[in-house]
Amino acid sequence: GEDVEQSLFLSVREGDSSVINCTYTDSSSTYLYWYKQEPGAGLQLLTYIFSNMDMKQDQRLTVLLNKKDKHLSLRIADTQTGDSAIYFCAESLYNFNKFYFGSGTKLNVKP
């Protein structure tokens, strides 16, 4: 399967910005996604970016894509305690039949 990697933990203070990073190996990725998972719940799609884009901004969320380095990041501005969750990056390949997920980054927001 494809290799999607993320750091496991990130801790920030409320009000600061959070940056969660992800690397992937398959250059034929078409869409890249960020999902949020709260305890005991399924995954919620936060945002996604098409592989020919460099950046996408959606309110407090900014997605940066460096296709050359196969690096994806999610920046959360003005991080709140309600943002504490596990964040997964995922990629879908050219045939859209499969989605591959990273191991998830647990974001802890301190008051």
Partner 1 sequence: GAVVSQHPSWVICKSGTSVKIECRSLDFQATTMFWYRQFPKQSLMLMATSNEGSKATYEQGVEKDKFLINHASLTLSTLTVTSAHPEDSSFYICSARDRRRGASKATNEKLFFGSGTQLSVL
Residues 65-84 vs partner 1: string with x where CB under 8 A? Answer: --------------------
In angstroms, give the least distance from the CB of 58 to partner 1. Answer: 13
In angstroms, give the least distance from the CB of 27 to partner 1. Answer: 18
Counting every residue, how long is the chain?
111
In angstroms, give the least distance from the CB of 76 to partner 1. Answer: 20
Choice between 48 and 64, CB closer to partner 1: 48
Instruction: Of 18, 21, 7, give the one whose Cα is nearest residue 75.
Output: 18
- Residues in CB range of 7: below 8 A, 6 or more apart: 20, 21, 105
Give the sheet arrangement for strand 4-6, strand by strand.
4-6, 18-24, 71-76, 61-66, 55-58
Choice between 14 and 26, CB closer to partner 1: 26
